Amino acid sequence: MLTGPPGSGKTTVLRRLIALLGAEGVKLGGFVTEEFREGGHRAGFTVREIDGPSAVLARAGQPGSARVGRYGVDIEAFESIALSAIDHAVEDAHVVVIDEIGRMELASARFIARLDAVFALPRPVVATVHLAAHPVTDMLTRAPGTDVVHVSDGNRDHLPDQLSERLLILLGRGLASRPVRVPPGCPGPAPTLAWSPGSVASFPPSGRWRFPPAPA
């Protein structure tokens, strides 16, 4: 679960991660949300299935099935893309991608219901999630087996490489243990990639993994 304040780079990290995994032959499924601009200003958001169709999720100032701030949210359009994308991913993807689980997406009761099945899958799920408190996201981020990664200006550049290595290991495409690449100029040797399900990852600017010790 990638989390952080608006503008921290969650979706940027996810896009680069998708490209890295795709280059390794990993089949990805799911959806991403992207902003669109008009007249130099953010006008709304689209939802797009990975390698598939897209639709307008929300637009500033327009009526919608729900409202989030100044945006009218088209729940029906969102569900037509996102739910189909999730179904396709559940069928045959190696990694399921959900970008994002935020206030707009959580306006859909059908989407919330589908999340239970997605996170019960015996395969990796990578999702972006807002920082605001919400019963659904609070439950998901605290669930056993969920790792929460806080994205910031200081770590977003090297996160895609690190997360790609980690996911390749989970998929059996990497070594059981190998050094994490540390950006040039960072002090100390590159640490060994070590983690335990359910830990909360902290990625400081040094680029080194820091996980709390696994429970005894």
Q: Global pTM? A: 0.78
Alpha-carbon 200 to chain mean position: 15
pLDDT in tens, 97-144: 999 999 999 999 999 999 988 988 889 999 999 988 999 999 999 988
Domain definitions of the chain by residue range:
2-157
Q: How far apart are CA 132 and CA 211, in angstroms?
A: 23
Quick one: average pLDDT of 152-167?
94
pLDDT in tens, 58-95: 999 888 889 998 999 999 999 999 999 999 999 999 99
Closest CA to 35 of 117, 114, 86, 102: 102
Quick one: average pLDDT of 10-35?
95
CATH architecture of 2-157: 3-Layer(aba) Sandwich (3.40)
Question: What is the predicted pLDDT for the residue at 175?
Answer: 41
